[in-house]
Copies of this chain bind each other. A is one copy, B any other.
């Protein structure tokens, strides 16, 4: 197996043939537009006017290619402009920024999750949160517990949300399911609400606000 070029050896090279950068660029475009499933080594090669094996030389295989795609995406997720005056509203602004960035690129989010790269992808989120929690006066274990709670909840919402149109047939949507449930012991008002489609952003907002307020105000 030939050693693929690493980013750390830029090594001047004549302007002929294909570069690692061009390959990743094209792969990002395909994944962003049509999802991970649409990225094939052969299609990508054809689109670049080359041959699959050339890609192997530069990148090393489909998995490495996907990792490179995710890395490019992660680099574009810049830390948010933190907004708000109270600690709670500042933390919420960070959470919202990441939800928004991810929901603008659902297919890249899916790729990151599929390759197990969530920790990397959400690192900028974590750093911003760490600063904010420190500024809010949280220290040590209290701070790390709060941070991990927020990070997992935000990541969880993001990962649940990336499925742009639901894959499943209509009857599997949550609202439909609630139509046929045994209602014994369930408040009728609650049941009526559950038969309406959920507003994902509203749930995100409500959940995060409740959680962050509790984490920042509960005594240690």
Q: Which residues of A contact B (CB under 8 A)?
A: 67, 114-120, 123, 126-127, 130-131, 133-135, 138-141, 143-145, 147-149, 152-153, 155-157, 159-160, 163, 166-169, 172-174, 177, 181-182, 185-187, 189-194, 198, 203-204, 206-207, 210-211, 213-215, 218
Contacts and interface: CB of A to CB of B under 8 A. Distances in A.
A213 B213 CA distance: 12
Contacts of A138: 187, 190
Contact of A198 (B115, B134, B148, B169): B148
Q: What is the oligomeric copy number?
A: 2
A88 to B, nearest CB: 12
Contacts of A139: 187, 189-190
A147 B195 CA distance: 13
Nearest to A163: B116
Given A140-B189, A143-B190, A155-B160, 19 more contacts: A115-B167, A116-B166, A116-B172, A117-B168, A119-B174, A120-B172, A127-B186, A130-B194, A133-B187, A139-B187, A143-B193, A144-B194, A145-B206, A148-B207, A152-B204, A156-B156, A156-B157, A156-B159, A156-B160
